[in-house]
Amino acid sequence: MGTAYKQWHEVLSAEFFGAGYALQSTVLYIDDEAERELAESYSIDMGLAQAVADELNWTDPERPLFSRIQRRCEIWARSGAMGPPPSLPVLALSVLAATRMASSDGMLKTNFYGRWIQLFSEQRSTFRANKLEHAFQDVAVMWEALDNWLEKTGGLYGASTVSTDEFYWKIGYPISQALVRGSDRHALTRFFAATRLRPHNLDDLSSRELLRRLRLWTTGRDRRLSPRLMEELAGAADVDNTLIADLIKRLAHDWDGTLHEPERERRRRGVGLRLMVADRGRRLEWLAEVCEGISETSVAVAGGRMLMLCEDYGHVYRGLESLQPSWQQLDHGLRLEGEDLVLEWGPREVVLLRMHPHLGEWVSTEYFEPGEEHWILAADPTVGAVRSMVSALVGRTVREAPAPVPGWKLFKGVRALNGLAFARTLDEGGEHAHVLEPQLRQHAVLSGGLRIAPEFRIGGAVAGHFLRGGAPDLLLPASASPDGRVEVVLDGYREKLRADPRVPFPLCVIPLDEGEHRVGTDQSSQLFTLHDGLNEGLPPGSGTLGYACQGTAQPELRNAENLEAVIRGAEVPGGIRLPRSVLVRSNVLEAVLIDPGGGVRQVRQQTVPEWMVSRLPEDACGPGLEVDVPDGYVWLVYRTPTRWSVRTLAVASDIPVPTPEPDDFAWAYAVLRAADRCRTAVWLEYVAAAEAIAGRREAR
């Protein structure tokens, strides 16, 4: 191996796989400028291309073109693969070829091999050019070896960003390194922070979703991404496995939450600011989610005051309340910097907001959830376009209100309940249609639904248990098919059901039996169960709150499990005596209550109350008499259209013997009316007493 080749190997090893790259994404980016700078700073006399060319085997037809380097690589692998592989200069040269891909010199911008051959100063379509092209298969193998080595060393020398796609798999490797320059990686860490990606992409955002957000982030703004990357972004097909999509996902996966700022000794964390519309749209606040490991810190407005931040409820920082969002901040963006943290708001004209689950306020969000309610904060110049866009969703009328910042308007109640109208609105596009874009997923996910027994879900293979009738929505993975639709598979049946993955698929409209169900696509599915109920008795937790009673109830609820006297629901402690009442379910024309001592009490007639007539079914308003029974009364004598009747108001053994006065004629009269309507001994005693009074009266 020549001296120059060795020098380049050492330089490339130090520059791209040094200790500073441990656990971070590393990109072997070499363009003409980088090559020149490295050669100058390390005093290498020979260019990279020449150093590699000197290692090629043009003389021995029995051996491959890269046989010398391959041999070195074999030895390197056998001896424990210490340090970066000897193929590094070859790989770097292939990246250099990829960075030169452009429509010039009679070559198309897609022509990699032309540039590769050109680097070796060979003419196209010659024997040597063909040999170089065919030998690139061995270079691809070297790329794979580099990728494997980076993986095996567990990030000690950096995290691999080596990627390719199926079609151009050989040349994809160097192109993957040429797409993202060092400056792009710096900018991409700002993007990851701004889009509130969790470190190492813990939420597993799909590569397409990341691309969608990156496109949004770069729309209309110079984010200092290289023209090559911007070009690739613009031209990338909307599918998962493109080179750029894979690469961005890999970078996201490796991102540790810090901003790429080599000039700073302490690597700062970056988080995108959110905008919160509080108090039903009357107040605006900045909001930042807490960075893991930074519970207290400070940030400052550029050239302004310091803000002390500390962790608060809902996993957000307290301390930003005094920084009132102004229209200038919304228009031009806001950057708050501290020693540990950078908070940034990128300017935008239309802001999508969703209800924060913990804070109960409307907070800016990255994607639309069809079915859920959103608010949209729109700058005045965009109001017309936003208005027509949300009206196209064909839902409930969206309410417009002034925003708590001049020059902006709030659209409240934006929902997409009509799947067809929603898909049509997205398809029609428009300047601000991107705010209605739902998240692009790579797996089927269940959302919403009426979950029961959440404790059973933990650690299980089942995505959730749901009440029958409250089956969740199915969020489908993004489609790669030309019609953009996805085939839904439910319990093994596909029934030719194709659905738009942008619209949640409502499983609750399908009559499903109790038990397990698997739903999704061929590639990705979820298992869930449906039940009418899980408890024979009262479920745990029922009745655990109540109003403690000590004479009267306490005004506040408390744990009721150990309380003796408590109001729980409509259950009250015993001991409260109520007037006794008796009911006669007939058309009672007149009625009296009778006591043993000759007392008679007329019962007043009652009409059916108006509330019963207006609010209850007719069946409930039938004839009937409800009588409150004061203490001492033991018989109710009443008349219906056909006869007189008597009803006992106490247990027979508790009814005292009658003791009327001789002149209690009304009493006797009442008893005798129903004399033959009861044959119990105690009633007959009352009848006898009544007859005695009546007899005396007749005698008089």
Which residues between 383 and 422 bind another protein (CB under 8 A)? 395-396, 413, 415, 417
Query: Pattern of binders to another protein over 622-651, x per CB under 8 A?
Result: --xxx-x-----------------------
- Characterise 503 by phi-psi region: left (phi > 0), alpha (psi -120 to 50), beta (else): beta
DSSP string, 551-576: SEE-SS-EE-TT-SSEEBTTB--S--
Bridge partners, 552 (sequence order): 550
Smallest gap from Cβ 525 to another protein, in A, equals 21
Pick 239 or 567: Cβ nearer another protein = 567
Bridge partners, 548 (sequence order): 566
CA 338/CA 341 separation, integer angstroms: 5
Long-range contacts of 676-684 (CB under 8 A, 24+ apart): 677/643, 677/644, 677/645, 677/646, 678/646, 678/648, 680/648, 680/652, 681/652, 682/652, 682/655, 682/657, 683/635, 683/646, 683/648
* Residues 430 to 489 in contact with another protein, rule: CB under 8 A: 448-452, 467-470
**Which of 533, 630, 662, 695 contacts another protein by CB under 8 A?**
533
Pick 219 or 581: Cβ nearer another protein = 581
Angle at 185 (CA atoms; ends 179, 188), nearest 5 degrees: 105
Smallest gap from Cβ 150 to another protein, in A, equals 43
Q: What is the CA radius of gyration of the chain?
A: 41
Neighbours of 113 (CB within 10 A): 18
Pick 263 or 532: Cβ nearer another protein = 532
* Residues 190 to 229 in contact with another protein, rule: CB under 8 A: none
Smallest gap from Cβ 408 to another protein, in A, equals 19
What the block records as the tokens of 475 is 């969020």
CA 411/CA 388 separation, integer angstroms: 12
Pick 248 or 452: Cβ nearer another protein = 452
Smallest gap from Cβ 618 to another protein, in A, equals 10
Pick 407 or 533: Cβ nearer another protein = 533
Pick 542 or 659: Cβ nearer another protein = 542
Smallest gap from Cβ 630 to another protein, in A, equals 15
What the block records as the tokens of 321 is 């309340």
**Which of 14, 77, 230, 359 contacts another protein by CB under 8 A?**
359
Pick 14 or 567: Cβ nearer another protein = 567
* Residues 52 to 81 in contact with another protein, rule: CB under 8 A: none
Q: Which stretch binds another protein (CB under 8 A): 41-49, 120-128, 257-265, 598-606?
A: 598-606
CA 532/CA 632 separation, integer angstroms: 51
Smallest gap from Cβ 282 to another protein, in A, equals 7
**Which of 156, 306, 462, 583 contacts another protein by CB under 8 A?**
583
**Angle between the N-to-C axes of helices 112-119 and 127-134, in degrees from 0 to 180, rounded to the nearest 10:** 120
**Which of 607, 641, 653, 699 contacts another protein by CB under 8 A?**
607
Smallest gap from Cβ 501 to another protein, in A, equals 19
**Which of 611, 631, 641, 657 contacts another protein by CB under 8 A?**
611
182 — phi, psi (to 5°)?
-60, -40
Assess 360 for contact with another protein (CB under 8 A).
yes
**Which of 40, 265, 522, 532 contacts another protein by CB under 8 A?**
532
What the block records as the tokens of 569 is 């629901």
Residue in the structure block whose two tokens are 């193929």? 87
* Residues 310 to 329 in contact with another protein, rule: CB under 8 A: 312-314, 318, 321-322
**Which of 41, 481, 523, 606 contacts another protein by CB under 8 A?**
606
Pick 71 or 677: Cβ nearer another protein = 677
Secondary structure of residue 486 in the 3-state scheme: strand
Query: Pattern of binders to another protein over 534-563, x per CB under 8 A?
Result: xxxxxxxxxxxxxx-x--xxxxxxx-----
Nearest to 421 by CA among 375, 484, 377, 371: 371
Query: Alpha carbon of 204 to those of 150, 164, 254, 366, 480: distances in Å?
Result: 22, 20, 12, 15, 19
Smallest gap from Cβ 366 to another protein, in A, equals 19
Pick 523 or 542: Cβ nearer another protein = 542
* Residues 252 to 311 in contact with another protein, rule: CB under 8 A: 279, 282-283
> Beta-strand (E) ranges in 483-595?
486-487, 489-490, 498-499, 505-506, 515-520, 525-531, 545-550, 552-553, 558-559, 566-567, 580-584, 590-594
CA 66/CA 47 separation, integer angstroms: 18
* Residues 563 to 582 in contact with another protein, rule: CB under 8 A: 567-573, 576, 578, 580-582
Nearest to 529 by CA among 464, 469, 470: 464
Neighbour-count burial of 217, counting CB atoms closer than 10 A to its CB (0-12 exposed, 13-18 middle, 19+ buried): buried
**Number of shown-chain residues binding another protein (CB under 8 A):** 91
**Which of 80, 304, 357, 492 contacts another protein by CB under 8 A?**
357
